[in-house]
Amino acid sequence: MEWPQKQVYADIVYEEIYRLNLFGRAEVWMDDKGQRTLEDATWISLPFEEAIEIFKARIPILSKAAHRVLSDALKQKAWTIAGDNDEYSREQAKASLDTALEQGWSKGKWVKYARENGIPGLGKAHLETVFDTNILGAYQHGRWKQQKTPDMVKRRPLLRYDTVGDSRVRATHEAMNGFTAPRDHPFWATNYPTNGFL
């Protein structure tokens, strides 16, 4: 697949995730009988607190080499960025991603900001990958935290593994496509998206 086609596909995926986020917020806004539970539609602009909390807690001081030797549990608490960059650049990149997550910046807005401010001096495609990996990863971790609440366990007792279905899906991930199991199934401990980045 040529890069322009990949970019179009990435934009479609981003828009779909945004729509699903709004639908999820709408569902939380309604009770079991479809009645509103808030006075107005403030759920549209609510910050995704679980994602923000998880991402901001990550420590941005590690080089990629130092990050690589950590246990999986410690990798979840640390933050790094691939490439030849110094501690200051990593801290600046992490701080700008914190802001992007808190303020709901699009990928394009963050990439433009990062390029204009030399954070961390990587190319556009690499910065887009940094945004996708970190922001979408934070959203997935936030969703996992939400899905473990008693109300969501009651409403959605099963989870289903779905890939994006493009030519870049790994064969191991494609083999899991469509797998459905209760949220406490051992499968989700190692395969809940985003999986395979560490």
Q: Which two tokens stand for residue 104?
A: 């709901």
Residues 6 or more apart in contact with residue 181 via CB below 8 angstroms: 158, 159, 187, 188
Q: How far is CA 33 from the centre of its chain?
A: 31
Question: Between residues 38 and 139, which one has the greater pLDDT?
Answer: 139
What is the C-alpha separation between 114 and 120, in angstroms, rounded? 7
Residue 34's pLDDT band (boundaries 50, 70, 90)?
low
Residues 82 and 134: beta-carbon distance below 8 Å:
no
**Residue 145: what pLDDT?**
84
Q: Give the pLDDT confidence of 117-139 residue by residue, as tens digits.
A: 877 667 888 888 888 888 888 88
In angstroms, what is the C-alpha Rg of the chain? 18
- Comparing 18-27, 67-76, 82-91, the range with the smallest average pLDDT is 18-27
What is the C-alpha separation between 21 and 74, in angstroms, rounded? 28
Note the pTM of the prediction, 2 decimals: 0.64
Domain map (residue ranges) of the chain:
1-46, 48-147, 158-198
Evaluate if residue 71 carries a pLDDT over 90. no
**Residue 31: what pLDDT?**
53
